[in-house]
Chain A
Amino acid sequence: AQRVTQPEKLLSVFKGAPVELKCNYSYSGSPELFWYVQYSRQRLQLLLRHISRESIKGFTADLNKGETSFHLKKPFAQEEDSAMYYCALSGLTGANNLFFGTGTRLTVIP
């Protein structure tokens, strides 16, 4: 069965400090991994996915298949990064629906 674990419900960092949001997953097969973000009073939106291997808004995430992790990192946090972050996975066949973790609320302290 698939599972996405985000161990931290809340994370606070100071502006300019590095930030890492943890995500571990279990899936029988090769999933696609995503990070979605929800800013205050906005809809859920895609931040990045492992297959594109790109940096968005300074965030990166590397898929570690050995540790089944997909941690989200940014070297210098900004106040506008304060939001709810969800890690999610999708299978590559069938419905391709998303399985989400419980989310981490990131607060960047000025």
Chain B
Amino acid sequence: DTGVSQDPRHKITKRGQNVTFRCDPISEHNRLYWYRQTLGQGPEFLTYFQNEAQLEKSRLLSDRFSAERPKGSFSTLEIQRTEQGDSAMYLCASRDWGRTSSYNEQFFGPGTRLTVL
């Protein structure tokens, strides 16, 4: 296991198109987080999963965004009808929550950079 992986690393799309990103967390990590990072800002929380259950969504996650983690392993983030304001780095992180320590680290993936033309 080489850590959290994300695919693709870069995505260029035209406004109005749909895009889907994938995140593979560290094996056995039960929590998975999605963040978005725009230029000059720190990452901002979008949503998280505990196993396959999506437990919280931030107000940044508009109706055009949907995330899934169907088997409690990998996760996908889909953006429908993309807008130029969606251009950002999308980061995924995972952690092992509750089974060993409450203070386990979040491990980040390399991110998917989305450019909407």
CB 8 Å contact bits of A83-109 with B (1 = contact, 0 = none): 000101000101111111111000000
CB 8 Å contact bits of B8-50 with A (1 = contact, 0 = none): 0000000000000000000000010101000011111100100
User: Once A and B bind, how many residue pairs between them come within 8 Å at the CB atom?
Assistant: 53
Partner of B56, one of A86, A94, A101: A94
* Majority secondary structure of chain A interface residues (helix, strand, loop or mixed): loop
Given A88-B42, A102-B41, answer yes or no on A46-B55 (Cβ-Cβ < 8 Å): no
| Contact, CB under 8 Å: B109 / A99 | no
Interface residues on B, range: 20 to 34
**Interface status of B97 (Cβ within 8 A of chain A):** yes
Interface residues on A, range: 20 to 34
Roughly how many angstroms separate A99 CA and B54 CA in the complex, as a whole number?
19
Which residues of A sit under 8 angstroms from B105, Cβ to Cβ?
46, 49
| Contact, CB under 8 Å: A102 / B40 | yes
Roughly how many angstroms separate A53 CA and B112 CA in the complex, as a whole number?
33
The residues of A with any CB-CB pair to B shorter than 8 Å are 4, 9, 32, 43-46, 49, 51-52, 86, 88, 92, 94-103
Sampled A-B contacts (28; CB under 8 Å): A32-B103, A43-B4, A43-B109, A43-B110, A44-B43, A45-B108, A46-B106, A49-B103, A49-B105, A51-B103, A86-B42, A86-B43, A88-B42, A94-B56, A95-B33, A95-B45, A95-B48, A95-B55, A96-B97, A97-B45, A97-B48, A98-B43, A98-B45, A98-B93, A100-B42, A100-B44, A102-B40, A102-B42
